A and B are shown apart, each in its own frame.
Chain A
Amino acid sequence: MGLKFSEISEGQELPVLKKNCTSQQLVQWAAGSGDFYQIHYDKDFALGTGLNNIIVHGALKNAFLGQLVHDWVGASGRIKKYGCSYRGMDEPNNDIICKGIVRRKYEENGEKLVDIECWTEKADGTKTTPGSATVKLFN
């Protein structure tokens, strides 16, 4: 049990986290995040702005990547930093597959650190949200 620094290797893949947002989840996110912009849950409004459909909040995809990394680290460490770029839109009822790879493990200022490359991709493999994270391990 628990993730150990010594057992992590560069190139290792994080367990994949698969998401597929219903419109209900986007409404829940609006309530959870406080962002009630209508392009995310009101199709008529979204079409009126020139979009083809309602779209998944970028910040929700950011939170998905946070969950990907958190679920891997659990109580064995902490996320020191993480983030992503919003390169493409995702629509509800489509797969958003969250993936990560360990790119570097190192010690710095007495901390055991791991750099991760992470991203979300569509079912066809198109990456819409490339990101990265640094986590510290306790052991």
Chain B
Amino acid sequence: MADEDSLITDELRATIGKRSEPTTSEVDKLQIRMFARSVGHVDPIYFDEAEAKKAGYRSIPCPPGYLGTPVYDPRYSDPTFGGRRGGGGPTAGPQPRRPLKRILNGGTDIEYFDDICAGDVLESVGYVSDIQERKGGIGDMLITTSKTEYKRVSDGKVVAIMTGTGIRY
């Protein structure tokens, strides 16, 4: 694959496995309720702490897909997405051999290793785990798989790993 025709340059391949600066995310009741309300959840465990405890949780748990909210600070947060401004992403760092204009979010997978509940503070570190290329109906495609590990600060336990697929074409 390391030929002149490949979209993946040596510099691009060398980014695989490079870990990002950590991001701190807080999990709190207010934000869980807002998230659960926006999805349309009806299970009271996402709104009422007593119901959450009755169901065996320490406090109100994260609904599926919610892994805390990055602490917002206008000095370094992105005003649209809330995460760290310029903190990586597909357009930062080494680029493919031929320029690709468009980006698609290909998919999201989350693996959980413990309950995540209000009161938890998570530290997340992301890295690119794989880069593939493919010729498809939409032309040259660069498929980047990235993983984000969420570690609970209080006990150092990795509580979730999110895998995201980004497609550039």
Query: Which residues from chain A sit less than 8 Å from chain B, CB to CB?
Result: 19, 25, 28-29, 31-38, 58-60, 62-67, 69-71, 74-75, 78-86
Contacts and interface: CB of A to CB of B under 8 A. Distances in A.
Q: Which of A25, A81, A84 gathers most chain B CB within 10 Å?
A: A81
A70 B112 contact: no
A59 B70 CA distance: 16
Nearest to B62: A66
A92 B54 CA distance: 36
A74 B51 CA distance: 12
A89 to B, nearest CB: 10
Contacts of B41: 67, 70
B154 interface: no
A73 to B, nearest CB: 10
Contacts, number: 104
When A and B form their complex, which 3 residue pairs have the shortest distance between CB atoms, in order from nearest?
A66-B64, A83-B109, A32-B38
Contacts of A33: 35, 38, 66
Contacts of A19: 40
25 contacts: A19-B40, A25-B40, A32-B35, A34-B81, A35-B80, A35-B81, A35-B82, A63-B63, A63-B66, A65-B64, A67-B39, A67-B40, A67-B41, A70-B43, A74-B55, A75-B54, A75-B55, A78-B115, A80-B112, A81-B109, A82-B109, A83-B107, A83-B108, A84-B107, A84-B108
Given A63-B65, A86-B106, 14 more contacts: A19-B40, A32-B38, A33-B35, A35-B82, A36-B82, A59-B65, A63-B63, A63-B64, A75-B45, A79-B64, A79-B112, A83-B107, A84-B109, A86-B104
B110 A81 contact: yes
Contacts of A84: 107-109
Q: Is the interface of A mostly helix, strand, loop or mixed?
A: helix
Contact of A75 (B56, B72, B110, B165): B56
A28 B108 contact: no
A59 B112 CA distance: 17
B101 to A, nearest CB: 11
Given A67-B63, A70-B63, A78 B112 contact: yes
Contacts of A71: 42-43
Decide if the interface of chain B is mainly helix, strand, loop or mixed: mixed
A36 B107 CA distance: 19
Contacts of A34: 69-70, 72, 81-82
Contacts of B63: 63, 66-67, 70
A31 B72 CA distance: 13
B31 interface: yes
Contacts of B70: 34
Contacts of A31: 34, 38
A85 B64 contact: no
B64 A82 contact: yes
